[in-house]
């Protein structure tokens, strides 16, 4: 099965392993992620201003491109997922934005949010199935206590993201069980790491990320997993580094036996 795939800027640079392990694992699970041609950076954060048009156009182009290439788009970075999904919702529901974006873009056929944007985790849950993954695991994370770190962007705003319960999610815990690990539920798993504020006021990112690390550590996590390069940066560089943090795709590749060492 082939599905269109949007890697995003950071997966081509600092987070190459998030991308590589994601593709290799998908292949092992029978899904070929086909990178969209000529994709552009999503901008990293969703601009909430109602009159912001230009800042959302790169996402509109990506979504329209995916519409012509199967109609389904898999994202991997939490931030790209959040931006693409929210822009898609906006062009579906905000007539003024849809009119202006289409008027400017001059696509062969107008775009009104037809593409289905799904995160890689949703692909694992809904397309592949966690039970199928379990069957294909050759190296289970037996006895390893793993804390899922959701952060903000996968879950909120839940009206639009519709991935899971925003206050009590379980998709990553189910993933951890599928690869044979033991999920650790800790209170800060859906709290913000500080995100881009590390560029503005590092102290805030240090406080937020440290609280998350301490929370996960005190509940017994040996390891934490995330889908977001900026979360990984904040937790490891600003959070004190008491618990190792990895991309969930790296664990998946390892469990499936497709992780090649560099």
Contact set with other proteins (CB under 8 A) = 8-10, 13-15, 41, 43-52, 55, 77, 79, 151-153, 155-158, 166, 191-192, 194-201, 203-204, 208, 229-230, 232-233, 236-237
Give per-residue burial for 8-20: e unless 16+ CB within 10 Å, then b: bbbbeeebebbbb
Whose Cβ is closer to other proteins: residue 137's or residue 204's? 204
Nearer to other proteins, 95 or 200 (CB): 200
Choose between 20 and 67: whose C-beta lies nearer to other proteins: 20
Decide whether 113 or 181 has the Cβ nearer to other proteins.
113
Q: Between 220 and 241, name the residue whose CB sits nearer to other proteins.
A: 241
Place of tokens 């912001």: 52
Q: Name the minimum Å distance from CB 50 to other proteins.
A: 4
Indicate the residue among 129 and 241 with the shorter CB distance to other proteins: 241
| Cα angle 188-225-115, degrees, rounded to a multiple of 5 | 95
Kindly give the pairing relationship between strand 116-119 and strand 32-35. unpaired
Closest alpha carbon to 73 in 90, 56, 85, 86: 85
The residue count of the chain comes to: 262
Minimum Å gap between C-beta 250 and other proteins is 16
Minimum separation from the CB atom of position 222 to other proteins (A): 22
CB of 244 to other proteins, least distance (A): 14
For the sheet containing 245-247, what is the strand order?
182-184, 145-148, 223-226, 245-247
- Between 69 and 237, whose beta carbon lies closer to other proteins? 237
CB of 150 to other proteins, least distance (A): 11
Helices of type H across the chain: 16-28, 54-68, 78-93, 95-105, 120-122, 130-136, 158-161, 171-178, 202-218, 229-233, 248-256
Spatial neighbors of 210 by CB under 8 A, at least 6 apart, are 238, 239, 240
Residue 152 in contact with residue 188, Cβ under 8 Å?
no
Tell the smallest beta-carbon distance from residue 98 to other proteins (Å).
Answer: 15
12 or 27, CB closer to other proteins? 12
- How far apart CA 171 and CA 126 sit, in angstroms, is 11
**Shortest Å distance, C-beta 96 to other proteins:** 11
Query: What is the rounded distance in angstroms from the CA atom of residue 261 to the CA atom of residue 112?
Result: 43
Cβ at position 114, least distance to other proteins in Å: 24
């Amino acid at each position: 099965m082939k599905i269109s795939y949007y890697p995003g800027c950071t997966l081509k640079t600092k987070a190459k392993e998030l991308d590589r392990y994601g593709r290799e694992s998908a292949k092992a699970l029978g899904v070929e992620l086909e990178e969209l041609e000529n994709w552009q950076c999503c901008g990293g954060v969703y601009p909430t201003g109602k009159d912001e048009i230009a800042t959302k156009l790169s996402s509109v182009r990506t979504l329209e491109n995916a519409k012509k290439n199967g109609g389904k788009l898999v994202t991997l970075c939490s931030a790209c997922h959040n931006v693409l999904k929210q822009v898609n919702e906006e062009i579906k529901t905000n007539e003024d934005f849809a009119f202006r974006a289409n008027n400017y873009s001059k696509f062969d056929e107008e775009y009104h949010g037809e593409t289905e944007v799904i995160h890689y985790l949703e692909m694992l849950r809904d397309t592949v199935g966690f039970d199928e993954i379990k069957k294909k695991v050759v190296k289970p994370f037996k006895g390893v206590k793993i804390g899922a770190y959701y952060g903000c962007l996968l879950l909120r705003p839940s009206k639009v993201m519709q991935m899971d319960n925003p206050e009590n999610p379980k998709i990553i815990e189910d993933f951890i069980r599928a690869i044979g690990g033991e999920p650790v539920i800790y209170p800060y798993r859906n709290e913000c790491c500080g995100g881009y504020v590390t560029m503005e006021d590092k102290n805030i990112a240090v406080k937020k990320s440290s609280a998350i690390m301490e929370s996960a550590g005190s509940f017994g996590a040996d390891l934490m997993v995330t889908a977001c390069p900026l979360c990984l940066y904040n937790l490891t560089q600003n959070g004190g580094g008491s618990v190792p943090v990895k991309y969930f795709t790296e664990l998946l590749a390892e469990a499936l036996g497709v992780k090649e060492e560099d």
